Amino acid sequence: MKIQYRGGSSPSLPTVARARLVERLTVNQEVAGSNPVGHPLEVIMIKEITLDNFAEEVLESDVPVLLDFWAGWCAPCKMVSPVVEEIAEEYESKLKVGKVDVDGQQDLAQRFNITGIPALIVMNKGEAVASQTGAVPRPTIENLFKDLI
């Protein structure tokens, strides 16, 4: 029996500089909660955006940036997070994706007048050019930045 295993980080974990490890393998046996040794790993970068790295990662970015304002206790944020991760993977060379923990980065949340989460903001050349609040489907998120890439 062939099984493809795909693992990743939980969006409810405390924020740390995140590199999402996506494990992809095909095995000829059942995988029961543990990963075989020697499988290939692909690194997908989703940056933690803080006040300290905001200028470098967002304002000075050569590509548009999708900012995901979220919190670990927010159920709709947990629904949007896998979609944001898929977008980061699919558009990795054309779009930078960053996550902003509103509990830990209240100054950034206030700067963007975040009153509800999840909140998605697209930045291009240092300017906020599109935004969306709430759990929305992937096409709605993609429409925020499609014209910029």
81-107 pLDDT, tens digit per residue, is 999 999 999 998 899 999 999 999 999
Q: Answer whether 97's CB lies under 8 Å from 65's CB.
A: yes
pLDDT for 44 equals: 58
CATH of the domain at 48: 3.40.30.10
The pLDDT tens digits of the residues spanning 36-87 come to 455 554 555 799 999 999 999 999 999 999 999 999 999 999 999 999 999 9
Instruction: Provide the domain count of the chain.
Output: 1
Mean pLDDT rounded to a whole number for the chain = 79
- The burial of 145, by beta-carbon neighbours within 10 Å (0-12 exposed, 13-18 middle, 19 or more buried), is given as buried
Q: Which positions are annotated as active-site residues?
A: 74, 77
Domain span at 74:
3-148
Is 56:15 a contact under the CB 8 Å cutoff?
no
pTM over 0.85: no
